A and B are shown apart, each in its own frame.
Chain A
Amino acid sequence: EAGVTQFPSHSVIEKGQTVTLRCDPISGHDNLYWYRRVMGKEIKFLLHFVKESKQDESGMPNNRFLAERTGGTYSTLKVQPAELEDSGVYFCASSQWRTQNYGYTFGSGTRLTVV
């Protein structure tokens, strides 16, 4: 079974530019989550999709961030325009079940550097 795939693995962009991160969840997993770890801080929840619907987007930092999951398959997270404080590692995770009884599977993350 293929795992959760994220790309790119690394991205370096200039302040003010746009970047789109992609996450391919495990096939059949309805639940998809985005998390972010800013340097030196804890991993923080951004949002949760159930299929194509946003179940919880309480962690999205501001309106420069836009997440989509068209057709309930892969998801994208766009940052526009990027700021220096957006640098960090963005993780995606997926699970078949909504509750945490079973844990979820994380991708390897995208390391975003804004210069």
Chain B
Amino acid sequence: AQSVTQLGSHVSVSEGALVLLRCNYSSSVPPYLFWYVQYPNQGLQLLLKYTTGATLVKGINGFEAEFKKSETSFHLTKPSAHMSDAAEYFCAVNPYNQGGKLIFGQGTELSVKP
């Protein structure tokens, strides 16, 4: 069965520091890949997605992620953290030939220290 692993349930960075949230998936066929963010008391918001084409994907709020097939990874980065980035981040995959179903990782809570 497909699975998604997010390394670290909590990540804390200082404001202005690099943000790196890790995501690995298990699949022999590259799926579609997504990062979602959930701010307190809000729904999940799509940050970025990889379907085909360029492996470095840019999203909203300065985030980007790189699809590495050889490593089955889709890590999320942002060069400089802002206080407003504090939220929970979810990596998800849409497995090949399974309609629109998403399989999520366990989520990573990002804290940003002043």
Do A and B actually bind? yes
Contact surface of A with B, Cβ cutoff 8 Å: 3-4, 31, 33, 35, 41-45, 48, 55-56, 59, 91, 93, 95, 98-101, 103-109
Asked whether B42 is an interface residue with its Cβ less than 8 Å from the other chain, the reply is yes
User: Chain B contact residues (Cβ within 8 angstroms of A): what range?
Assistant: 20 to 34
A91 touches B101 (CB 8 A): no
Q: Nearest B residue to A3 by beta-carbon distance?
A: B43
Q: Which residue of B lies closest to A92 (CB)?
A: B43
Could you tell me the distance between the alpha carbons of A59 and B33 in the complex, rounded to whole angstroms? Answer: 20
Count of CB-CB pairs between chains A and B under 8 Å:
65
B56 at interface (Cβ–Cβ under 8 A)?
Answer: no
Q: Compute how far the CA of A105 lies from the CA of B104 in the bound complex, rounded to whole angstroms.
A: 15
| A43 proximity list for chain B (CB < 8 A) | 44, 90, 92, 102, 104, 107
- Contact yes or no, B106 A4, CB < 8 A: no
What 1/0 mask marks residues of chain B from 97 to 112 whose CB sits below 8 Å from any chain A CB? 0111111111100000
Minimum CB–CB distance for A46 against chain B, Å: 10
